Structure 1
């Protein structure tokens, strides 16, 4: 598991301390995947209701509040596959 995945898991666990109502997956190109659900955040690559895919740079910017997830999606830097409503809910939780 990469250092970026470890850092992201820790940061997302702080932001989503109560877990996430649904099952979402972040795929970070060249690094790995992170699962978010009611149990919290962990490094894993499992089935999800929504999968968000971004480059490592874009993901870092979203994670650190330097880029809005909606803006990333609208500009093509973040792709969403699956439940768009859940993706929007996750974007709000990260913001």
Structure 2
């Protein structure tokens, strides 16, 4: 799955969600996905903008996370996922990404 395919999948999922009041950036070695949750539906782009929470991970792990093959908590506990900024925002993501 490419970054563009993942972004499209996340846009589709976000189109059915409400604002969650924060912004999140997934930063990978192949680019970023930025989610602006301050609007309904949340806006998903590949713009490298500041965010309340930045989640850093390898692209292959990110693809597995979005594809449902990797659990976010497991990724965090094993060091595959690193969080910078507001940890509470990261905790909200589980309900947003499902």
The total of aligned residue pairs comes to: 92
Unaligned regions of 5+ residues in structure 2, if any?
Answer: none
Shift of 1:4: 1.9
- 1:36 to partner: Cα distance: 0.2
Deviations 1:41-74 (A, max 9, x none): 0111011000001101100100100111111011
Unaligned 5+ segments in structure 1 are none
- 1:88 aligned to 75, 87, 91, which one? 91
Q: Distance in 2 between matches of 1:53 and 1:7?
A: 19
Cα distance in structure 1, aligned partners of 2:4 and 2:27:
13
Q: Which runs of 4+ in 1 moved over 6 A?
A: none
Question: Do the aligned partners of residues 25 and 64 (structure 1) sit closer, same or farther apart at CA in structure 2, a change above 3 Å counting?
Answer: same
Return the TM-score normalized by structure 1.
Answer: 0.87
The one of 45, 51, 55 equivalent to 1:52 is 55
